[in-house]
A = this chain, B = another copy of it.
Amino acid sequence: MAELDPSESIGRTLYSEIKHLMLRALSEGEWKAGDVIPSERRLCDRFGVSIGTLRKAVDELVAENILIRHQGRGTFVATHNREQQFFRFFNIVRHNGHKTYPDLYLLGFSKRPAGKMAGEKLQIASTAEVFRFVNVLSLQGEPTVVDEITVPETLFPGLTECELRERSNTLYHLYQVTYGLNVIRTEERLRAGLATEPQAALLNVAPGAPLLHIYRVAFTYNDLPVEWRVSYINTQNYEYFSTNGQ
């Protein structure tokens, strides 16, 4: 069992060891977004475990939306495409519950030092360089969300405004396929605030109108933060939807 020398030991059980070996294969890029990974039979051979143990490891990765199984086809690395994953991280819906895709307008793009807040959230020095850009999202023609997005330069070397503007898929899809950063988890904190003058202008509301604020950190494997985002939302026609349990 050459794959399982003690130095690799993370979990307490064999299946959690296998899970971590698979996470390593994912984070190191051996298996890339959209790839089919080796069949269960081959993975059993590779890791020297039984089918039951292998399946238990894969079960957990599937439950975490990292892998997707298709009977008869194989097991795949989940991709951030519009159809399946977009609404996993976009929780803004109409008051009637309807979900629609936003239209995007890229407002600005710059490189700058992270600063205190973004540095803390991205776990980098406040002097480290980051890319920062602002998106205005319109839903059914109404400007509804302003996203202020910050990502570390070290993780996104050479990111350009052009890439952001011309992407044909979701932002997290770009992170995943171009920079090998697969967002698998976010933490969000929500508050209520009042629209500033510039926000009011962008969202077509009066200054001082109530806005929902969302502070989000997005993580990839090993709890590595890849994005810090502050969103300002006009909840006159839309709202944040969250479900707990099940």
Which residues in chain A, 87-118, are within 8 Å of chain B measured between CB atoms? 88-89, 91, 93, 95
Please tell me if the beta carbons of B239 and A189 are within 8 angstroms of each other in the complex. Answer: yes
Chain B: minimal CB distance from A112 (Å): 25
With A192-B235, A193-B192 already in contact, the answer to whether A245 and B210 are too (CB < 8 A) is no
> What 0/1 pattern do residues 225 to 246 of A give for CB contact below 8 A with B?
0000000010100011111111
Taking CB atoms, residues of chain B closer than 8 Å to A233 are 192
Beta-carbon nearest neighbor of A191 in chain B:
B235
Q: Answer whether residue A190 sits at the interface, using C-beta atoms and an 8 A cutoff.
A: yes
Cβ of A212 under 8 Å from chain B: yes
Number of this chain's copies in the assembly equals 2
Residues from chain B with a CB closer than 8 A to the CB of A189 are 93, 95, 239-242
Any B CB within 8 A of the CB of A16: no
Docked complex Cα distance between A92 and B192 (Å): 13
Q: A20 near B: Cβ within 8 Å? A: no
Binds B, one of A137-145, A152-160, A180-188: A180-188
Closest to A234 in B: B192
- Asked if residues A185 and B242 are in contact (CB atoms below 8 Å), the reply is no
Does A64 lie at the interface of the complex (its beta carbon under 8 Å from any beta carbon of B)? yes
Cross-chain contact B210 with A243 (CB below 8 angstroms):
no
- A242-B188 Cα distance, complex, nearest whole Å: 5
Give every chain B residue within 8 A of A64 (Cβ-Cβ): 245-246
Pairwise interchain contact B210-A240, C-beta atoms closer than 8 A: no
The B-contacting residues of A in range 55-78, CB under 8 angstroms, are 63-65
What 20 new A-B contacts, CB under 8 Å, besides A194-B210, A212-B212?
A: A63-B63, A64-B245, A88-B245, A95-B189, A184-B246, A185-B244, A186-B244, A187-B241, A187-B242, A187-B244, A188-B244, A189-B239, A190-B190, A190-B241, A190-B242, A191-B239, A192-B192, A192-B193, A192-B211, A242-B242
Give 25 pairs: A residue, B residue, CB < 8 Å, sorted on A. Answer: A64-B246, A65-B245, A95-B189, A184-B245, A184-B246, A185-B243, A186-B244, A187-B241, A188-B241, A188-B243, A189-B240, A190-B212, A190-B235, A190-B241, A190-B242, A191-B210, A191-B235, A192-B192, A192-B193, A192-B210, A192-B212, A192-B213, A192-B235, A210-B210, A210-B211
